[in-house]
Amino acid sequence: MDLYFYLSKFLAPIVNVINLFFFLTFILLLIFFFNKNKTILKVVFFLIIFLFAISFFPVGNYLLKSLEKDYFNTNLPDEINYIVVLGGSEDIIKTQLYKKLHLGESSGRLVASIKLSKLYNKAKIIHVGGIRNINKYNLLSESDLAREFYDTVNFDLSKIYFINESRNTYEGIKNLKKYIINHSGQKKILIISSAFHLKRISLIAKKVGLDFVPYAVDFKTNLNIISDKKFSLFNEWQDLDVLSNLKYFNIFFKEIIGILAIYLFFNFT
């Protein structure tokens, strides 16, 4: 799986929609400079229209709904043995730079784990994290920051186990299963993660043979997208936010690429 990890890091800039747009536009215009083919200009024009569409219309929001809709509601079981928090909400660089704990948009994962721990007071929390950078630069890990968070809110650290060697979601799920097998075998597991990310987690878990209850946080889909209210052009204009539209489309695009990469890895390696 090292090839998958290094390829994902190397290709990460290209999987960003805005970066990809400028890369393609630059390459196409460079080709047009040497080969005056009008078809190239048509492709560039199409790319500009495409960028305009995903910027001024909530395309990303509607697409993200397809990833999040199955997790709007969670039917919690009567018993859970492990509450699993996947890393990704911790901002390692800023924490180390400013010497203060920095959490990102996905910090709801950590908060939810405390809430669920009160509901399932006999369950053990497992935080699955690591360092996702190729060059670690003596960085703290996601688990180090999670430990600081739990300590800051005076949560009992003896109720938490930290898996600290995972560089991506696949390694996290694989290491989680290894821990479960070594300690107690298959028990009832609940995994907390961002709503848009749970489909990829489910795909990986199915492939490695791990059953779990999904618990979604950090929803990106707007309430007017979730509801059954009729489409309102005025509401869409009122909520117009070009940067957010691009951001949400980019999240969807990256997640779909991740799902495809996992699918291809499991089926062709």
3-state SS of 94-138?
Answer: HHHHHCCCCECHHHHHHHHHHHHHHHCCCCEEEEECCCCCCCCCC
46 and 141 part of one domain: no
pTM here is 0.86
pLDDT at res. 230 = 59
- Please identify which residue in the block is written with the tokens 């209210």: 229
| Separation between Cα atoms, residue 98 and residue 209, nearest integer Å | 41
162 and 212 part of one domain: yes
Closest by CA to 176, choosing from 204, 140, 142, is: 204
Q: Does residue 83 lie within any of the structural domains?
A: yes
142 and 184 part of one domain: yes
Beta bridge partners of 190: 83, 213
30 and 53 part of one domain: yes
pLDDT digit string, tens, across residues 52-106: 999 988 899 889 999 998 898 888 999 999 999 998 877 888 888 888 888 888 8
- Domain span at residue 134 reads 76-217
The count of domains in the chain is 2
| Separation between Cα atoms, residue 126 and residue 246, nearest integer Å | 34
pLDDT at res. 241 = 84
Q: Give the CATH number of the domain where residue 139 resides.
A: 3.40.50.620
The answer, yes or no, to whether residue 185 has pLDDT greater than 70, is: no
pLDDT at res. 99 = 86
Q: Does residue 234 lie within any of the structural domains?
A: no
81 and 14 part of one domain: no
| CB distance 149 to 102 below 8 Å | no
pLDDT digit string, tens, across residues 112-145: 999 999 999 999 999 998 876 666 565 788 888 9
pLDDT digit string, tens, across residues 140-155: 888 889 999 999 999 9
Q: Considering only residues 194 and 96, tell me which one the structure prediction assigns the higher pLDDT.
A: 194
Write the CA distances from 170 to 94, 158, 164, 227, 265, integer angstroms. 25, 26, 14, 33, 11
pLDDT at res. 49 = 95
